[in-house]
Amino acid sequence: MTNRRFFVTSALAGLALPRMLLAQAAPGKVPRPDIAFRVPNPDPRVAGLVAQVSQERLRADVNALAGFGTRWAEGPGYGAVEDWMAARLAEAGPGQVISRQPVALPMGSTRHNVLWGDAMSGREVILVGAHLDSTSENPGHAAPGANDNGSGIAAMLEALRILSGQGFTRSIVAVAFTGEEQNLLGSTACARYASHAGWPIELMVNLDMLGYRPPDPAAPLYIEYDRGNATPVNDVAAAAYGRMAVRLAGEHTGLAIAETDIWDSDYMPFEQQGFPCIGFYDGGASGPPYHTSGDVPELMDFDRLEQATRLLVATLATAAELA
């Protein structure tokens, strides 16, 4: 994580970017400032959705994911993990399309991204993603992956439960990626397909580790947004959405916030295809449980996971535009 560039801020900073700056990005990649930032104070409708976040449900999902023992994508039991994911997505939003996208892995096996929603419904898409697989020092034997990335999957499921019955101007689509721990194979396949098929992605939101218990309780949650990387045309839109998320964190959470670039997770292939990308990250890659068999639920901070999920619900509801 040494390549990260950190910008610690007040969670109330950066309410909007100048219209002149926004206009420099390519058409179709820029959030409309009068929409994305039209509510200067907390929206009571969003606050009502945020209030529904359940730590109990988050904990249950993390425990279930860690309970597989390992979610190593090359392991023989990974099919059961995919089945669990598809079933939970179906429960989170009844009536939504659940699909699987094949991903070829290095040892010759084929695994799948699991998707919720229809990216070609005719509306712009807010895409939220989190990786389902895990790794450790001995991934074939034990890789519970509670925080990395059971926490991200649990937050995504909880947000879908809360938001699936709401009316939005934009469509929310969710994907559980496989092969993140094998050089982002699942998200690379998904991003290439999305670009080829013409998915109208307005924003990609990535969730990778949200429940780390840091030594310092005041440690921030990182709101990441694209600051260059492969495709500069999407930077201004990504910054606008990242700063929107900073504002929402101040309105709906008690977390300290830091801003940084995106780096080495499933948003990178989408950024390369030109889509605006942001992410939420808890700093857990610097902690002892990271990528070990000790990444278990007992070491997580479920209060922080709940707060991060509140931010996710607020961000998706605001970006998708409540009708």
Residue spans of the chain under pLDDT 50: 1-40
Give pLDDT, residue 3: 36
Alpha helices in 103-234 (DSSP H): 152-163, 185-197
Entry pTM? 0.90
133 within 8 A of 180, measured Cβ to Cβ: yes
The rounded distance, in Å, linking the Cα atoms of 220 and 257 is 5
Per DSSP bridges, beta strands 125-131 and 110-116 are unpaired
Give every strand in the sheet of 257-260, ordered side by side. 6-9, 257-260, 221-225, 277-281, 201-207, 125-131, 171-177, 110-116, 98-104
Give pLDDT, residue 323: 85
List, in order, residues 6 or more apart from 224 with CB less than 8 Å away. Answer: 206, 242, 259, 260, 261, 262, 263, 267, 278, 279, 280, 281
Give pLDDT, residue 41: 64
Give pLDDT, residue 29: 36
The rounded distance, in Å, linking the Cα atoms of 267 and 246 is 18
Give pLDDT, residue 21: 28
Distance from first CA to last CA of the chain, Å, rounded?
39
pLDDT tens readout for residues 281-293:
999 999 999 999 9
188 within 8 A of 269, measured Cβ to Cβ: yes
Give pLDDT, residue 103: 98
- Domains of the chain listed by start with CATH number: 6-320 (3.40.630.10)
